[in-house]
Amino acid sequence: MFTLLKIKSVATRTILVSLALFVSACAAQNQAATDAPASLAATPQYVIGPQDELDVFVWQNPDLSVTVPVRPDGRISTPLVDDMMAASKSSQELARDIEKVLGKYVKDPLVTVTVRTFNGPYDQQIRIVGQAAEPKAIPYRNDMTVLDAIIAVGGMTEFAAGNRAVIVRNEGGEKKSYNVRLDDLIISGDVSANVPLLPGDILIIPQSWF
């Protein structure tokens, strides 16, 4: 009799725990009840990050024109520009900053900075986590979509609940979550589910409940 009561008690606790997990999962999904926007109001400007490679071209000054890596600390060094912060600047902003320094040595320098190899700052990279075949962070590219991100990580695992995937996005300092229908996109070929990404987005692919 005691054993039977113990089994019932364990079974009851198991059911309660399962219900709590289910309610918690439903609550998390409800927080992301809004579908991800199908289009963006504006195209974000790329900013330079550590380990990017830059072409610095100085008009009519080939000795000052170089290809340089952005160091892990976000800085670069070029001829006559010993140590300058490059990370988190656009290529145009960096070019203007280099011109100011070169102006001490060269009359009216005209500088163009081109990003040759892209990585971007860590907070601007796209992170794909959860049931991705190879969860990782990838550099943001102009017009990048969730399909591009899924291809970059080798697809989803067999345990993925693709239609419960969520994009976590920073908007004006506030974290917002949006639903993404990855199963409809990848399995059913519904291109309307292929929504654009923004720098810094986190794509979370949960595991199926069953």
For residue 37, give the nearest of 169, 187, 152, 155 by alpha carbon. Answer: 169
8 Å CB contact between 42 and 49:
no
User: Buried (b) or exposed (e) across 93-115, using 16+ Cβ within 10 A?
Assistant: ebbebbbebbeeebeebebebeb
**Mean pLDDT, rounded, for 40-64:** 90
pLDDT tens, residue by residue, 187-200: 999 999 999 999 99
Return the pLDDT at 11: 44
pLDDT tens, residue by residue, 144-176: 999 999 999 999 999 999 999 999 999 888 999
Percent of the chain with pLDDT over 90: 68
Q: Which domains does the chain have, with CATH numbers?
A: 53-117 (3.30.1950.10), 125-210 (3.10.560.10)
pTM over 0.75: no
Q: Where are the beta strands (DSSP E) in the chain?
A: 53-58, 66-69, 75-78, 81-85, 111-117, 126-130, 136-138, 165-171, 174-180, 202-205
Return the pLDDT at 35: 84
Assign residue 63 a region: left if phi > 0, alpha if psi is -120 to 50, beta otherwise? Answer: alpha
